[in-house]
């Protein structure tokens, strides 16, 4: 199944077609998630597609025709250039709503069943068995049809390279198979490290057999990759070390996540400057998923500390939390109902709406749990936060994110254990303490999506030239 936004290139089944311009090259992007799928995971691939055309690369996207995903965002379609070929393949996964309902029923059944009952034990065995088969992730059910679609496309149309972005890591398995068949340079783009995802993702198999399977699959991908790209310097080095352990020697490059100036065409100015007498609340906005790698517990603890010392001042605080939340994180947020803080929760909103909510904030909250490996992570939203130029309240471990923020908002950068300092920051802001403008805003330019697409194009050109 194919969708073509316009047809400057004939992609018919009548045989291989010549390139419209010999100077241009064509990339196959393997990305299960692609607009109209919404969420943070699609921003990176769609912005690559948008800007690569400026650097001489046209793109074909191999994507899911019926993705099993929680959110869609049609506003992202505007970023797809007209000459982008969308090759769609159906997945055998059940619809996301069905999966969600099944998970809820299972959770309810576990609450009412006896822990030692035969029925409960059987359900656990069935779930574990299903998880064992779906390796490296549930999106492996897309693999058979996607492989057929990818082979048809590559036989019909000349391509110069393949890029696969993950998670899901099934994208990498699929791309490595296509690379093996068609002998094209392969770039594996890790938006998250495979090992970290295996450790922290919800519902991920954590048994010894699954670990062995995942390690074998990761080894296969590393050995087929000509280049590995990651979103921080530390992650890039970690993945290269992992590749070396597997006997592979791909090129490595860090390409950070970033922001697109086109998303900020309309100047985002706060409605008014906050003061205790202004008649409005001091608004902190968090956007993104709340789960074990981005727990909001430290901020809730700090608000509770303020409640103990100066409860009345919390009537000036509004906390907006936009995005999916695990049940554990919802329970943590519920504790704020015992304070005078105003809590506003939304499960999801379109990207352009999220940007408006960020712009209306007095401070933007960035969270990273203090767990092993988090020091190598830089959340994608960090860079849009920088583009908005609102003060950032960050609660992260020492590491790459903290290092980046040191150039922009050092005063609002805390560790999870620094409850007293966080509470002091809250009291100061709620008391109307003024904040200096962002120093050196020009340093943000390195994180523009166009610049990052240029980095990718340069890497692609090097790989293609080396192949020739």
Tell me the DSSP string of 265-324. Answer: -S----SS---TTSSS-EEEEEES-BSTTS--HHHHHHHHHHHHH-GGGGGGEEEEEES-
CATH number of 25-95+135-258+449-466: 3.40.50.2000
Q: Assign 377 to helix, strand or coil.
A: coil
pLDDT, residue 240, reads 98
**Domain 262-446 top-level CATH class:** alpha beta
pLDDT band per the 50, 70, 90 thresholds, residue 243? very high
pLDDT band per the 50, 70, 90 thresholds, residue 466? confident
336-372 pLDDT per residue, tens = 999 999 999 999 889 999 999 999 999 999 999 999 9
Residues paired with residue 30 on neighbouring β-strands, in sequence order: 62, 164
pLDDT, residue 443, reads 93
Q: How large is the average pLDDT for residues 261-273?
A: 72
Share of the chain above pLDDT 90, in %: 75
Q: How large is the average pLDDT for residues 268-288?
A: 85
pLDDT, residue 197, reads 85
Instruction: Report d(CA 393, CA 405) in Å as an integer.
Output: 10
Residues carrying CATH 3.40.50.2000, the chain = 25-95+135-258+449-466, 262-446
pLDDT, residue 204, reads 62
Q: How large is the average pLDDT for residues 214-221?
A: 96
Instruction: Report d(CA 137, CA 132) in Å as an integer.
Output: 9
- Give 202 or 412, the one with higher predicted confidence: 412
Share of the chain above pLDDT 70, in %: 85
pLDDT, residue 201, reads 64
Going from the C-alpha of 186 to that of each of 83, 108, 174, 225, 325, the distances in angstroms are 22, 44, 11, 5, 35
């Amino acid at each position: 199944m194919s969708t073509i936004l316009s047809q400057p290139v004939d992609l018919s089944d009548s045989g291989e077609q010549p390139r419209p311009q010999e100077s241009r090259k064509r990339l196959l992007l393997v990305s299960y998630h692609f607009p109209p799928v919404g969420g943070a995971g699609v921003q990176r691939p769609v912005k690559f597609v948008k800007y690569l055309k400026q650097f001489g690369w046209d793109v074909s996207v191999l994507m899911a025709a019926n993705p099993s995903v929680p959110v869609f965002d049609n506003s992202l379609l505007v970023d797809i250039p007209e000459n982008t070929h969308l090759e769609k393949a159906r997945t055998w996964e059940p619809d996301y709503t069905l999966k969600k309902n099944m998970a809820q029923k299972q959770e309810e059944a576990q609450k009412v069943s006896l822990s030692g009952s035969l029925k409960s034990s059987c359900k656990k065995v069935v779930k574990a068995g299903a998880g064992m088969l779906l390796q490296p992730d549930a999106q492996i059910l897309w693999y058979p049809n996607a492989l057929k679609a990818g082979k048809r496309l590559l036989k019909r149309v000349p391509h110069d390279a393949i890029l696969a972005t993950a998670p899901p890591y099934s994208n990498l398995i699929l791309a490595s198979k296509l690379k093996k068949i068609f002998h094209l340079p392969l770039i594996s783009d890790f938006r998250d490290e495979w090992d970290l995802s295996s450790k922290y993702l919800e519902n991920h198999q954590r048994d010894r057999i699954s670990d062995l399977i995942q390690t074998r699959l990761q080894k296969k991908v590393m050995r087929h990759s000509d280049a590995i790209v990651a979103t921080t310097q530390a992650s890039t080095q970690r993945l290269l070390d992992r590749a070396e352990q597997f006997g592979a020697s791909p090129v490595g490059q860090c390409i950070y996540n970033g922001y697109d100036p086109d998303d900020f065409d309309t100047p985002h100015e706060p409605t008014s400057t906050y003061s205790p007498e202004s008649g409005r609340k001091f608004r902190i906005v968090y956007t993104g998923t709340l789960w074990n790698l981005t727990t909001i517990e430290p901020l809730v603890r700090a608000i509770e500390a303020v409640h103990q010392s100066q409860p009345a001042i919390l009537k000036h605080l509004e906390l907006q939390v936009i995005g999916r939340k695990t049940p554990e994180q919802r329970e943590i947020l519920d504790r704020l109902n015992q304070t005078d803080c105003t809590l506003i929760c939304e499960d999801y909103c379109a990207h352009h709406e999220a940007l408006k909510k960020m712009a209306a904030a007095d401070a933007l909250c960035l969270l990273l749990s203090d767990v092993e490996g988090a020091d190598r992570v830089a959340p994608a939203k960090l860079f849009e936060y920088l583009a908005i130029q609102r003060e950032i309240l960050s609660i992260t471990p020492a590491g790459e994110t903290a290092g980046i923020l040191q150039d922009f908002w050092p005063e609002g950068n805390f560790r999870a254990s620094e409850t007293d300092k966080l509470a002091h920051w809250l009291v100061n802001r709620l008391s109307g303490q003024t904040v200096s403008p962002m120093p050196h805003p020009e340093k943000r330019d390195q994180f523009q999506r166009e610049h990052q697409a240029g980095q990718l194009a340069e890497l692609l050109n090097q790989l293609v030239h080396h192949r020739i």
